[in-house]
Structure 1
Amino acid sequence: MITGHGDDAYQFEHKIVSNFSSNVYNKFDLKDLKKFLWANISSIHSYPEPDALTLRKLISRKLSISPEEIGVTNGATEAIYLIAQAFRGSKTAVVIPTFREYEDACEIHEHSLYFIESLEDIEPDTQLIWLCNPNNPTGKIYDKEYLEKVISNNPNTCFIIDQSYAAFTNNKIWSANETLKHSNAILLHSLTKCYAIPGLRLGYITAQKDKIDKIKHYSMPWSVNQLAQLAGLYLLENVSYDFSDYLLESQRVQKQLAKVSGIKVYASDMHFFLCQLEKGKASDLKKFLIETEGFLIRDAANFRGLNESYFRIAVQDQSNNNLLVKAIEEWIRLSF
């Protein structure tokens, strides 16, 4: 799905003042990273490492696992498509509503797909399950003990756990070391989200070596460019993040918006949350916010399992968050 994601400001003539549609934290300070990359810009004259070995070694030290249990990818999205290719033709379940790329990648590689809303609904002979944790767009987080039980009880089913948003929760979630205890688990990680570098495309997979080898068999050399690899090395060694205040702001905004008549807010521990209009279309609300405030929200109608009444918000700074709540309230007042 090339179109239909958040962060689609390029499609609109109006200037976007604040982007609530993207789950990337756009207030992250990247000035030192930019200086570092500029100082190393001449490195683009050389090929990058074909399998990002130096970066894999650094990640392995950070996680206390082997470099052979890590595969660096061009964002988590490349990992999704590689996994779908490596398990081509599998009977596959996707826990919905969730990121559309799991479904799209599996369709390309001729999986026999079905969709579930609960891990209690896994059908017999299922070979692969896609699970986003924390989940986009709902913010749902699966308890570690529960995941352990489900994965252990389904040894013939491989669980793909996408934890691209792991940095944006204070909850205890599944880890790389827990993944490596299971031959039927693969964990997806994203540096795009926590370090706000979606334009560089950088992520990685952790799993037992045989799973990594199976997936890397389909990976092209140099898929992760030189600047992305350098950025990963720099960020992991020099930059930390703490989203505690950001998550508190999300809780505040959720409470404020829940007071607005005509809106249902689905509680989330994340920096983003899902909303539903009692009347009207999210696409009309989106258009109104762009034209009146320059605010961009995520129309969530194209998430399987949702409809045209749903939209997603990723909170921004307090001032624009307050203006957004007022603007949504105004749209409801004018429309109904």
Structure 2
Amino acid sequence: MAMSEPIPSPEARPDVERLRGYSAPLEGRRGLLRLDFNENTIGPSPAVTEAIRSFPADQIAVYPEYDGLREAVIANLQSSPAGLAQPLSVEQVGLFNGVDAAIHAVIHAYGASGDTLLTTSPTFGYYAPCAGMQGMAIEAVPHDMPGFRFPLEAMRTSLQRGPKILMLCNPNNPTGTRLSAENVLQLATSAPDTLVVVDELYEAFTGDSVLPHVDFAVHTNLLVLRSLAKTAGLAGLRMGFAIGSAGVVDRVSRVTGPYDVNSLAVTAAFAALSDQPYTDDYVAEVLRARDYLVTVLTRSGAVFHCDGGNYLLLWPRSPAQQVEQQLRDAGILVRSMAGKPQIDGSLRVSIGTLAQMQTFWESYRQLDG
């Protein structure tokens, strides 16, 4: 019997065919010191572990329920030292399968072919493919140099052209660039027809959140993204939130599945939110470790940049990708920023505990000291 010719697969939408997807080398990381993806490096609260261990087996067969989780998020935000500018209702909190899913939903809900997504450059790499799959144009404004300062005047000029969405990573990954809440609100006020999305995944390491200052009844075009990945240690379970006016949260939630957030993530989120002291202690340890690493790098004459977030940029004397591989061989993962504008040739190094950063420094200085 003659072999049939293979049937060509159908083409996707042109926007998807042209798309270069976001990729992250996440395999082969177990058992290594993970300083490459800005994760919590010690794991979640024991309360989270116990909650997962106690999860009833029969509930795995049941669709997840979210009763009380939005209220727990609001209570957690309200009890923080800075608090909230205005009380939040449960309709103002959206639940997502990680902030990546929230970003995708925001752009899916508000971005259309021919619209513009405005952001900075370099920034988190997932914004661009999400915008691209919607056929959006992407305008990325370079940071002001030296020092990777936020390009405030250039951003104001770009906003006058009426982009559909402004994505602000604050503090910015990977440069650590910070923008004050006052300036965030000024940008949102100046562009009422633009949805201003503030990605605050690393806010805990700087305290720059806009939430203690924003009244969503006034700034209805502002949406804040938060996560339990970087601080509370739930990156593997995917738990993200979107906080804003009820109308915006509703529209963004419409384009997600009804049960996108799984039951284990919900259980873990309740436990993590109930043990805020654990998260606070971890953040404080990261800040101590960051101070240590900045001190030893400065004394050594290394070229680096450190501002906000649980990470810094480091320019080794040897080629960055070579040093990245040598560190991996030594059991330490960092991430090369090869090809990224303004930071090509650098390594992004996540900050963990003091002991972990001492381990990193001992290996790094022998390789490139």
Q: Distance in 2 between matches of 1:320 and 1:216?
A: 39
Q: Percent identity at matched positions?
A: 21
Aligned: 1:103 with 2:128: yes
- TM-score in terms of structure 1 length: 0.88
User: Larger deviation: 232-241 or 212-221?
Assistant: 232-241
Shift of residue 81 of structure 1? 0.4
Structure 2 partner of 1:283:
321
Shift of residue 59 of structure 1? 2.1
Query: Which of 166, 178, 195 is matched with 2:214 structurally?
Result: 178
Aligned: 1:45 with 2:83: no
Query: Which of 295, 301, 310 is matched with 1:255 structurally?
Result: 295
Output the amino acid matched with 1:188: L
- TM-score in terms of structure 2 length: 0.80
Output the amino acid matched with 1:119: L
Shift of residue 313 of structure 1? 0.9
Shift of residue 176 of structure 1? 6.5
Aligned: 1:116 with 2:141: yes
Aligned: 1:216 with 2:253: yes
Aligned: 1:266 with 2:299: no
Instruction: Note closer, same or farther for the CA distance 1:86–1:268 as it changes in structure 2 (3 Å cut).
Output: same
* 8 Å Cα contact 2:97-2:239 kept in structure 1: yes
Shift of residue 239 of structure 1? 4.0
Structure 1 partner of 2:186:
149
Shift of residue 186 of structure 1? 0.8
Q: Aligned with 1:193: secondary structure?
A: coil
Q: Distance in 1 between matches of 2:353 and 2:67?
A: 38
- Runs of 4+ in structure 1 off by over 6 angstroms are none
Instruction: Note closer, same or farther for the CA distance 1:179–1:327 as it changes in structure 2 (3 Å cut).
Output: farther
Q: Distance in 1 between matches of 2:132 and 2:319?
A: 28
Aligned residue-pair number: 321
Unaligned runs of 5+ in 2: 1-20, 79-86, 143-150
Instruction: Note closer, same or farther for the CA distance 1:130–1:206 as it changes in structure 2 (3 Å cut).
Output: same
Output the amino acid matched with 1:41: P
Output the amino acid matched with 2:353: D
Output the amino acid matched with 2:103: I
Query: Which of 37, 42, 46 is matched with 1:22 structurally?
Result: 37
Output the amino acid matched with 2:49: K
Q: Distance in 2 between matches of 1:200 and 1:4?
A: 17
Query: Which of 47, 69, 82 is matched with 1:55 structurally?
Result: 69
Q: Aligned with 2:363: secondary structure?
A: helix
Query: Which of 85, 96, 104 is matched with 2:108 structurally?
Result: 85
Larger Rg computed on CA atoms: 2
Shift of residue 2 of structure 1? 4.8
* 8 Å Cα contact 1:98-1:303 kept in structure 2: no
Unaligned runs of 5+ in 1: none
Structure 1 partner of 2:240:
203
